[in-house]
Amino acid sequence: ELKVEQNPLFLSMQEGKNYTIYCNYSTTSDRLYWYRQDPGKSLESLFVLLSNGAVKQEGRLMASLDTKARLSTLHITAAVHDLSATYFCAVVYNQGGKLIFGQGTELSVKP
């Protein structure tokens, strides 16, 4: 069964700093997603990565995918308080649309 692991699970950052969240997965998959979740809310789609070497950027967030290493990263540049949330990566299992999620990374950006 496909396993997805994120690290770190908790991240406390200062505003203006950079950091990276890592997402490792155990078997081959052709799609990887990053989602944001605010407390008590649903999942907001951030990025869909479809191929090896894919890189996508939106504002202060940039996601990349290395399918050979089975690794995706979510890089945060010059963090601001509004980025405080829990971030999940998810991988499609067996091309069937079933998403396997990581444990989530709870990000707290402090002034």
Partner 1 sequence: DAGVTQSPTHLIKTRGQQVTLRCSPKSGHDTVSWYQQALGQGPQFIFQYYEEEERQRGNFPDRFSGHQFPNYSSELNVNALLLGDSALYLCASSLLGNYEQYFGPGTRLTVT
Q: What is the dihedral angle through the alpha carbons of 99, 93, 5, 49, rounded to the nearest 10 degrees?
A: -80
Which residues here bind partner 1, judged by CB under 8 A? 4, 31, 33, 35, 40-43, 45, 48, 50, 88, 90, 92-93, 96-104
Q: How far is the CB of 89 from partner 1 (least distance, A)?
A: 9
d(CA 38, CA 1): 28
Instruction: Report CA 97 to chain centroid distance, whole Å.
Output: 18
Q: For residue 84, how many C-alpha atoms fall within 13 Å in the half-sphere facing its CB?
A: 12
> Considering beta carbons, is residue 21 or 102 the nearer one to partner 1?
102
Q: How far is the CB of 109 from partner 1 (least distance, A)?
A: 19
Q: How far is the CB of 7 from partner 1 (least distance, A)?
A: 13
